A and B are shown apart, each in its own frame.
Chain A
Amino acid sequence: MDLSLSTRTVGDRTVVEVGGEIDVYTAPKLREQLVELVNDGSFHLVVDMEGVDFLDSTGLGVLVGGLKRVRAHEGSLRLVCNQERILKIFRITGLTKVFPIHASVDEAVAATD
């Protein structure tokens, strides 16, 4: 299972749909995608993790890196995730306090704070 990535624009948000496994091998592709989006001026990102089967700390590192990049432009990075096994990883690392995590893309796109 490799990593799949697709992006689409919803209003002023860019939704990055991620599928497959995010690990030490595939995480660089996600990093490239996020860097490219920020370089192209997309500063409000929604990362949809519903299709993710596996996430490790390398993936968390890439998401934290993405958050730092968008914040440098007053942007935002929101996550969409309902899978308990993925949410658990955010909880044990304390990252639930760092990322806004939403139950659906619609909710994430509508969110402001």
Chain B
Amino acid sequence: MPTVELRFSALPEHVRTARLVAAAVARRAGVDEAVLDEVRLAVGEACSRAVGLHQSHGIEAPVRVALTEEEKQFSIEVGDEAPHTAVNSGSVPGIVAALDDPEAEGEDEMGLAVISGLVDDVEVSSSQEGGLIRMSWPTAPEPLAT
């Protein structure tokens, strides 16, 4: 069961709230202070993407954020209910695609690029029922050097 669970209407103004709550819960869970900026950014990216998907698909359902304190890690799951027709589980498109497309400002691709650049442990999955971004950070006082 998540330590804290948020459900918010898919509106851009609520993404900041999700960032603030996630950072507060991560701090309490023992995530290193130096990493909190990354947590804040990653959860913001995941929520912005979910809001965009709900709005573009006209989905009334809220965006879900689950913040879970585990034994040696802190995990965040951001779920959307947008049907993903092209299932590209696990792959994250790069920034290059966003820049090469003259029409798109490429926010969706860039959001995933930012998440994959920030977070070592991240899984992106999607199905007909929706998408899920799962991220985790170590909470041990001295995470193993990489």
Q: Which residues of A contact B (CB under 8 A)?
A: 21, 23-25, 54, 56-58, 60-62, 64-65, 68, 85, 89, 92-95, 98
Contacts and interface: CB of A to CB of B under 8 A. Distances in A.
B111 interface: yes
B110 A93 contact: yes
A92 B96 CA distance: 12
B100 to A, nearest CB: 11
A61 B13 contact: no
Contacts of A60: 107, 110, 114
Contact of B113 (A21, A24, A92): A92
Q: Which of A56, A60, A62, A94 has the most CB of B within 10 A?
A: A56
Interface residues of B, number: 29
Contact of A21 (B16, B95, B114): B16
B110 A57 contact: yes
A24 B95 contact: no
Given A57-B110, A92-B118, A93-B117, A25 B12 contact: yes
Given A56-B111, A57-B107, A61-B106, A24 B52 contact: yes
Contacts of B19: 23, 54
Contacts of B117: 92-93
Given A24-B52, A64-B98, A85-B37, A57 B111 contact: yes
B95 A95 contact: yes
A65 B13 CA distance: 22
